[in-house]
Structure formats: structure tokens, C-alpha cells
């Protein structure tokens, strides 16, 4: 193992752009040298920010360091870049199970099974989870998925640009909607429980909600409104305005407390504001 | 009804509480500090509740159970009508009020009203 690490380090030093950092980071992780593994993964990510395997590696190291929130963000990002990345799907399943969301955990494992029906570790994880035991922490996929940029550079980059509004945010690929004051969608999308796209309908209603919130706060002498949180029977929402002209809606499952949702919305608001400033 | 409102207004930072008819936005009962216009609060809360409710239905989150409008100088906290038989239970509060406590009292009041 030590020889392998030395050889991989030398290889990476010779060609810093190469993908050998994936193997080096993993070797260091397996050896328990987590800080060194983390440095390798972060350096690799700086050079290859659109590489799902790099986010997957980083997430596995973070999981070993018990930094589950950031690990979730990284696996979430990996799936957004490469939706069929089984390592990331298994990772998300593992984390969902850890917070007690068995349904989401199973859904992610089922998704991974559809991609790799012959992978016995997925079946094993599902069985363990149904028995109430935590599925094993995810290991790297046997065959690393190709970088998104290598698959289809143009398509990947255009899809990514829009998705990047909320890049790196927990659950960035769902339940986030950014609209302008006239109810036109600027970024994100929403689906209901049945999977139907409800983006446009919700966007249309939100403009009215925002106007009414502003009017209410003003007429009651409460000053400018800053946010509107609501608990629904099937989900919770938080509405904020990153700029005076834009609105941001964050939708999450009922299980997410309003306080945590507000923190998430605050992060999303900052990201949306930065993204809007660059436009 | 006034006992239910009394429990809400006992929470530190709450400036007033009221029961509002969801349908027409009229005041059913109120306990407000001086300077708060009950009629305006009732009408605006009912209107915002209606719009928010429609947006939430469209988003698939179902009927609203509780909502909270946070503003620079205060907050409006509401348990909407469906949970309380067509009556909105509303509180007007300071910006730094304990939201969890007010929410609890609003839900209790809604139960008592039903």
C-alpha cells in the first residue's frame, strides 16, 4: 500500500492534471490518512470541478471524517453531474438511512440497482436496511464513470450553467425555484409528489404571494418582509427574496423543521444573489 | 375564545392575537395592544393566507398548517383556517419572538376554537 501511494504520488507530481488523484486519494483514505486524502481530493476537484468521481471521492473521505452534511452536498453534486453514478447514489442512501429516512434511502438504492442490476452489494444493502441495519458505507464503483465533460461537452456545460445557481447546496437538484417579480422562472424547478412538473404553476402563484406579503408587512407597520415560512401537510416551504426583484422558494419534505429550512433558504438566497449579480 | 387568545398574548413579544374568518377576512375575536388595527390585520392575513394556500397546493405540499411572515420590525404568525374550522388564528409579534412557543399556542387555540 505504501509503495502504491508513493508511486501514485510520483505519477501525480509528474502530471498534476491526470486523474490519478482519484486512486491516490482513495489509497490514502483506505490507509486512514484522511487529512492527506482530503488535500488530494480538494486539489483534484479544483482541477476537475465537473468530475462526478472527484465529488464521490471527496464525499467518501468526508463520511470517514463524520462530516455528513458536506458529504451529502458532494454526493448530491455528483448525482447532478452524473445521475447514474451508483457510488453517489449508494452514498446518499447511506446518509439518508443515517438520518432515519428509510424511504429515501431505499429509493436511492433502487435507483442504483436499476443502473447496476448485477451489483450484489446493492441487493445486500437493501436487505440489510430492511432488517433495520445500516447499509455499508459506500465504496468506489468498480468502473469510474467518465467525466461529464468527456461525455458531451456542450450539453453538459449548458445544463450545468443553469443548475449552478444552487451548486453545492444540500438538495440542489430539487425543490428550489428562483423567479423574477413577474413570475418568470430564472432557475431551478419543482415537481409534485407524483413527479409532475409544477414549476410554472407555482411560479405564477408566487408573484402574488410576494406582493401580498410586501403589502401586509407595509400596512401593518412591520417594515420590509424578509421571509415567509410555511408548514404544509405534505411539505414545508420558505419564500425569500434574494434581490428586490427576485423570489426564491425552497420546498422540502415535512420532516425538515422550519428552522433548518430557514437556514437552508438563507444559504440558497446568498447563492442566488451571487448568481443574479453575475448575470 | 378569549381564553384561547389570552394564552397566545401571554407569550413574551406577542403584541396581539385574533381569530379571523377565513372566508371574508373579518375579525371574530381579538386581543390587541393599542395601535394595532385589528381590521387591517384580519383582512391582510386572510388575503395572504388564501394566496399562500393556492401556491402551496400547486407545489404539492398540501394545505398549510402554520405560516410565519418575518419582517424587519415584526412578524405575523398564523394557523390557517382548515386546521381550525374556517377560522384563522393570528398573532402579531415582535421580530425576536419565540416562534416555536407562539406556534404551539396558536395550534392549541385552533384546537380550542374547533
Residue A36 has pLDDT above 70, yes or no: yes
Q: Does A220 touch chain B (CB under 8 A)?
A: yes
Grid-cell match 467518501, residue found: A60
Identify which of B47, B59, B72 has the shortest CB distance to residue A192. Answer: B59
Chain B contacts to A (CB-CB under 8 A): 36-37, 40-41, 44-45, 47-48, 51-52, 54-56, 58-76, 92, 99
Q: What is the ipTM of this complex?
A: 0.92
Residue A18: per-residue pLDDT: 83
Closest residue in chain A to residue B67, using alpha carbons only:
A230
Residue A171 has pLDDT above 70, yes or no: no
All three cell numbers of A164: 449552478
The predicted-structure confidence for A65-80, as pLDDT tens digits, reads as follows 888 888 888 898 888 7
Specify the CATH class of A174-278 in words: alpha beta
Dist. CA A48–CA A239, nearest whole Å = 34
* DSSP state at residue A197: B
Contact B67, A231 (CB under 8 A): yes
**Full domain range(s) for residue B61:** 2-113
Q: How far is CA A232 from CA A50, A63, A183, B39, in A?
A: 36, 32, 22, 26
Dist. CA A120–CA B89, nearest whole Å = 54
Contact A169, A176 (CB under 8 A): yes
Specify the CATH class of A2-147 in words: mainly alpha
State the CATH number of the domain containing residue B9.
3.30.450.30
| Total residues found in chain B within this entry | 114
Cα angle, residue B69 at apex, residues B73 and A189 outer, rounded to 5°: 130
Confidence band of A146 (pLDDT split at 50, 70, 90): very low
pTM: 0.58
Q: How far is CA A108 from CA A111, A241, A250, in A?
A: 5, 32, 22
The predicted-structure confidence for B69-96, as pLDDT tens digits, reads as follows 999 999 999 999 665 568 999 999 999 9
Residue B82: per-residue pLDDT: 63
CA A4, chain centre distance (Å): 32
Confidence band of A37 (pLDDT split at 50, 70, 90): very high
Residue A184 has pLDDT above 80, yes or no: yes
Domain count, chain B: 1
Amino acid at each position: 500500500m505504501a509503495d502504491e501511494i508513493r508511486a501514485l504520488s510520483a505519477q501525480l507530481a509528474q502530471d498534476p492534471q491526470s486523474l490519478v488523484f482519484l486512486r491516490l486519494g482513495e489509497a490514502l483514505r483506505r490507509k486512514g490518512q484522511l487529512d492527506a486524502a482530503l488535500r488530494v481530493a480538494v486539489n483534484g476537484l479544483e482541477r476537475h470541478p465537473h468530475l462526478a468521481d472527484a465529488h464521490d471521492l471527496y464525499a467518501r473521505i468526508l463520511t470517514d471524517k463524520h462530516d455528513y452534511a458536506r458529504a451529502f452536498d458532494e454526493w448530491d453534486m455528483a448525482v447532478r453531474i452524473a445521475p447514474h453514478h451508483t457510488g453517489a447514489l449508494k452514498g446518499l442512501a447511506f446518509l439518508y438511512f443515517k438520518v432515519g429516512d428509510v424511504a429515501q434511502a431505499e429509493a436511492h438504492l433502487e435507483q442504483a440497482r436499476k443502473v447496476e442490476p448485477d451489483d450484489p452489494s446493492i441487493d445486500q444493502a437493501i436487505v440489510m436496511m430492511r432488517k433495520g441495519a445500516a447499509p455499508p458505507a459506500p465504496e468506489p464503483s468498480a468502473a469510474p464513470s467518465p467525466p461529464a465533460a468527456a461525455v458531451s461537452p456542450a450539453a453538459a456545460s449548458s445544463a450545468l450553467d443553469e443548475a449552478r445557481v444552487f451548486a453545492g447546496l444540500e438538495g440542489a437538484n430539487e425543490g428550489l425555484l428562483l423567479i423574477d417579480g413577474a413570475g418568470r422562472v430564472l432557475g431551478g424547478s419543482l415537481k409534485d409528489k407524483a413527479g409532475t412538473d409544477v414549476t410554472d404553476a407555482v411560479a405564477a402563484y408566487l408573484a402574488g404571494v410576494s406582493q401580498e406579503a410586501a403589502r401586509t408587512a407595509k400596512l401593518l407597520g412591520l417594515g420590509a418582509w424578509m421571509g415567509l415560512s410555511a408548514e404544509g401537510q405534505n411539505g414545508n416551504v420558505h419564500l425569500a427574496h434574494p434581490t428586490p426583484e427576485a423570489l426564491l422558494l425552497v420546498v422540502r419534505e415535512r420532516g425538515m423543521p422550519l428552522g433548518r429550512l430557514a437556514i437552508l433558504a438563507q444559504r440558497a438566497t446568498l447563492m442566488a444573489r451571487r448568481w443574479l449579480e453575475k448575470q | 375564545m378569549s381564553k384561547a387568545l389570552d394564552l397566545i398574548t401571554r407569550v413574551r413579544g406577542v403584541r396581539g392575537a385574533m381569530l379571523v374568518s377565513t372566508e371574508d377576512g373579518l375579525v371574530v375575536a381579538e386581543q390587541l395592544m393599542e395601535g394595532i388595527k385589528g381590521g387591517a390585520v384580519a383582512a391582510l392575513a386572510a388575503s395572504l393566507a388564501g394566496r399562500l394556500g393556492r401556491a402551496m397546493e400547486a407545489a404539492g405540499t398540501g394545505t398549510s398548517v402554520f405560516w410565519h411572515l418575518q419582517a424587519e420590525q415584526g412578524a405575523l404568525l398564523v394557523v390557517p383556517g382548515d386546521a381550525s374550522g374556517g377560522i384563522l388564528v393570528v398573532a402579531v409579534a415582535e421580530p425576536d419572538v419565540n416562534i416555536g412557543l407562539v406556534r404551539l399556542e396558536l395550534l392549541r387555540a385552533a384546537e380550542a376554537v374547533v
